[in-house]
Amino acid sequence: MQGLLEAMDSFRLKEGLILTFEQTDDLNVEDKKVKILPAARWILEGTGQLAF
């Protein structure tokens, strides 16, 4: 998680995505949104874009 937050800071992003095997969650960390999705669900939903 810390690496993702550092990358989001470097690229000035407000939204991030973590792909997992089966975990699903939405987190608000500092002033950022992190979506945690199963990779299969992300692929099957099609666009691969974040939908917050």
pLDDT in tens, 2-50: 999 999 999 999 999 999 999 999 999 989 999 999 999 998 886 656 5
**In angstroms, rounded to a whole number, what is the distance separating the alpha carbons of residues 14 and 10?**
11
Q: Domain spans of the chain?
A: 2-44
pLDDT at residue 52 tops 70 = no
Amino acid, single-letter form, for residue 36: I
15 DSSP assignment: E
- What global pTM score does this model have? 0.79
Spatial strand order of the sheet with 15-20 comes to 15-20, 32-38, 25-29
Place of tokens 């550092």: 6
pLDDT for the residue 30: 87
